[in-house]
Amino acid sequence: MTHVLVTGGAGYIGSHACKALAARGFIPVCFDNLSTGWAQAVKYGPFVQGDLLDRAALDAAFAEYQPVAVMHFAAFSLVGEAMSNPGKYWRNNVLGSLNLVEAAVDAGCKQFVFSSTCATYGEQDGVLLTEDSAQLPINAYGSTKRAVEEILRDFRASDELRTVIFRYFNVAGSDPAGEIGEHHRPETHLIPVMLEAIDGQRPELVIYGTDYDTPDGTCVRDYVHVVDLVEAHILGLEWLLEGKESRVFNLGTGCGFTVNEVITHARAATGQKVPHRFGPRRGGDAASLVSGSHRALSELGWDPTRSSLKVMISDAWTWHKTGGYSG
């Protein structure tokens, strides 16, 4: 059986990746320190509770499971927190990733799939972003992800690693079967915050900024369903296992929605009003982040069929109503 080491496998995207890997006959080995993940989300393979800054724990995991590839999701990923605590982001996201890359190389594990982000592109005045767009991050989260991309580039140059880098746009939705889902404490992401406001778990959604240069003044984002996103990871893994060249792929649909438009869709999907008010901008937010690339579709054969706002919000709502993980 073929093992894949999945860092952050107890988290939102990593747990969905583990489910997709298991469905394809791989054994996902979840490596997670549970700082933001949930033991209850580890359902599809062995669990190693460990930290990326602990090189011995990484070496032991590679030695025990001999994974054919790494999928690296573990990272802190909140724009607001990254602005107020950049050291936490650089230490965990960059030093942790360097440890992981070195452990993989030393173990002879050459295939590496990395979660990067459209936040590496920064603020580019509403243009559609492609993999060749300049990477000029405006927040520490994007800076740390760009730094890891550079680490991977340098290891690639010495033929020690082959990589597929995915630059995600805004990931949303949850497993339609309701086995796993998005659950952060505290929750800061738009769609789950909206759902919490709908069912009274918070008084309202605060819309961060109404004076952006966008159609209605609120930020524009390109939302992609987590199930579609992890399917791309399977295709990326297969790409590497077939011996193809290292490659970067955007993962977005190419359709941008303002925060107000997402609220309108949430009302339609749930049949309920979204209590909200307008607030100031959040530091580090770009006005617009929308993918202008078809590379994942044309080269990987990616087909993001669940990535309409209607389906993403409905799936998130189904999960939300389960109450999520406890503890």
| Stretch of residues binding ligand UDP (CB under 6 A), selected from 39-47, 63-71, 201-209, 311-319 | 201-209
Among 58, 219, 248, 300, binds ligand UDP (CB under 6 A): 219
For residues 112, 103, 107, 3, the Cα torsion angle rounded to the nearest 10 degrees is: -50
For residue 259, how many other CB atoms are within 10 A of its CB? 23
Question: Which residues 49-88 are close enough to bind ligand UDP by CB under 6 A?
Answer: 79
Three-state SS across 47-65?
EEECCCCCHHHHHHHHHHH
Sign of the torsion angle spanned by Cα atoms 237, 111, 103, 27:
positive
190 is a site residue for ligand UDP (CB under 6 A): yes
The residue (of 188 and 264) whose beta carbon lies closer to ligand UDP is: 188
Question: Which residues 275-294 are close enough to bind ligand UDP by CB under 6 A?
Answer: 282, 285
Distance of closest approach, residue 62 Cβ to ligand UDP, in angstroms = 31
The residue (of 43 and 281) whose beta carbon lies closer to ligand UDP is: 281
Structure token pair of residue 185:
């404490």
Q: Are 171 and 315 in contact (CB under 8 A)?
A: no
206 is a site residue for ligand UDP (CB under 6 A): yes
- CA–CA dist 26, 19 (Å, integer): 10
Among 72, 221, 233, 320, binds ligand UDP (CB under 6 A): 221
- CA–CA dist 325, 204 (Å, integer): 22
Question: Which residues 7-36 are close enough to bind ligand UDP by CB under 6 A?
Answer: none
The residue (of 156 and 282) whose beta carbon lies closer to ligand UDP is: 282
Residues in the chain: 327
User: Catalytic one among 12, 44, 65, 141?
Assistant: 141
Query: Site mask, ligand UDP, residues 244-273, x = CB under 6 A?
Result: ---------------x--------------
For residue 232, how many other CB atoms are within 10 A of its CB? 27
Q: Is 12 a catalytic residue?
A: no
Residue 37 per-residue DSSP state:
S
306: nearest Cα among 195, 227, 222:
227
Q: Distance of alpha carbon 85 from its chain centroid, rounded?
A: 20
The residue (of 244 and 282) whose beta carbon lies closer to ligand UDP is: 282
Among 188, 201, 305, 322, binds ligand UDP (CB under 6 A): 188
The residue (of 190 and 234) whose beta carbon lies closer to ligand UDP is: 190
205 is a site residue for ligand UDP (CB under 6 A): yes
253 three-state secondary structure = coil
Distance of closest approach, residue 317 Cβ to ligand UDP, in angstroms = 16
> In sequence order, which residues have a C-beta less than 8 Å from that of residue 56 and are 6 or more positions away?
none
170 is a site residue for ligand UDP (CB under 6 A): yes
Please name the residue that has the structure tokens 């991309």. 149
Contacting positions for ligand UDP (CB under 6 A): 79, 170, 188-190, 193, 205-208, 219, 221, 259, 282, 285
- Which residues are catalytic, by number? 141
